[in-house]
Structure 1
């Protein structure tokens, strides 16, 4: 739901305010209209698109005048951005929409600020465009500061926990994968049953079994990476998805070749490459989410230092 405020001229009593409020509430698309007589402001909540010209005509027929502004400013929370390329993609996608005058993305706070003409488009159009680009966006409600901060904190905490669990699972499989695949290079003993020379097929199958869980828990990177790639907006996840999937699929093909008797392919397996890249990528995202959470907490503590009351001495 979007909110926009207009200045109303000509109101001088509670009856005037009630008239403006009632007339505005009759317009299709407006969920709620409320008037503050003291500030001479009309606040309108709407879901899709607001016909500002129609609203102005209705107010004018009621005997009052609405001071219209060309643009409305809204802020959206954007999820799925992992790099500067993601932020630029979201910003460019929204900036190209008809009716948008300005779009600016802050990657650190994962916020999108948009100035647009509400008579041409609405928040749902912006959210839909961002979703088509491979990300998700949610309009931040005005006058909901504390609740918005709490929701943002809960989302970040949930994301933090997901990344931590994903990293733990990936690390549990990657460490033995690395030992079995690369241990012989460091003189580490490897059981004969999974030795690349004595039992190349077992050697390959064991790595496949250890790599597949890492790929499964990291599937979000592939889903988001290929989606943005196919839509012409590749990002860091696209690079991760292409590199690791190429190594994974090639290694599966080599494993099949080993099973068919071509044992030389045991030296051409890249399962550990897939596991290492995905695990380290998850670790990086986990550390990023943790640092963002610490930054948010520091800002909240700083805000809490502000005095709750102020005394004006005249």
Structure 2
């Protein structure tokens, strides 16, 4: 029986990225269909769990230089008494769609779970653990859709701050580099060449190493995996 999951993908910068991920996913054994939407920032994959697991699907995305946003939660477990309890709970959690990994510690009586927030929730995990014959202490959990929206807003805010800082720095940098060409040396005053070069260096350095850092990081990530993307072009 096949299973279809839709999960968010981060790191895409153009439609070519989506095409590359889609091709990589479709080449996986057990995957009968994969569609990646660049605009929505998500991938939809239909696969046979008996042939390929969801963690392998995510590993393929990561192997191409991209990533899927995951959440982590620690669940206090009740009723464990031996190592077989650990294996039973880990196995039950691993079967839950959206769970990437699950590690249960008998000593602390806790389960650490990494999962896709859009596909699984603490309530789902509690249900499968209780179905395996154990208990879970109630936890107050932030709404996962709201959390994902909050993370997106934070990412946009970070980009806006970089844009604002870049704009403040690039305007005087442009004026200094084009001072004579714009006739400002005649209209206003002449700037000694050494001073001009020094000021341009001071202004350009944060632009290169802070404002443009996401582009370099994205280009390097693509290069490490033998591919290119829009970050490569920009960098």
- The TM-score normalised by the length of structure 1 is 0.49
Q: Deviations over 1:163-206 (max 9, x none)?
A: 110011111111110010013212123754x43xxx3x333222
Q: Deviations over 1:222-255 (max 9, x none)?
A: 01112213423211101111xxxxxxxxxxxxxx
Aligned match of 1:173? 169
Q: Deviations over 1:70-122 (max 9, x none)?
A: x1111111011121011111111211222111110111211100011111221
Aligned match of 1:151? 147
Q: Deviations over 1:119-172 (max 9, x none)?
A: 12212112122112111114331579x934312311221111001100111111
CA contact (8 A) 1:95 1:101 kept: yes
Q: How does 1:231-250 map to 2 (within 5 A)?
A: 231-241=225-235
Q: How does 1:135-214 map to 2 (within 5 A)?
A: 135-138=66-69, 139=116, 140-142=118-120, 147-189=143-185, 192=190, 194-195=191-192, 199=193, 201-214=194-207
Greater Rg over alpha carbons, structure? 1
Higher helix share: 1
1:126 aligns with 2:119: no
1:229 aligns with 2:229: no
Flag the 1:231–1:191 CA change in 2: closer, same or farther, 3 A.
farther
1:108 aligns with 2:39: yes
Aligned match of 2:209? 216
CA contact (8 A) 1:173 1:211 kept: yes
Q: In 2, distance between residues paired with 1:125 and 1:179?
A: 52
Q: Does the residue aligned with 1:105 lie in a helix, a strand or coil?
A: strand
Aligned match of 2:87? none
CA contact (8 A) 1:89 1:233 kept: no
Post-superposition, which runs of at least 4 consecutive aligned residues in structure 1 deviate over 4 A? none
- The TM-score normalised by the length of structure 2 is 0.65
2:22 pairs with one of 78, 91, 95: 91
Unaligned runs of at least 5 residues, structure 2:
70-115, 124-141
Q: Does the residue aligned with 2:68 lie in a helix, a strand or coil?
A: strand
Q: In 2, distance between residues paired with 1:160 and 1:230?
A: 26
Higher relative contact order (CA 8 A, sep 6+): 2
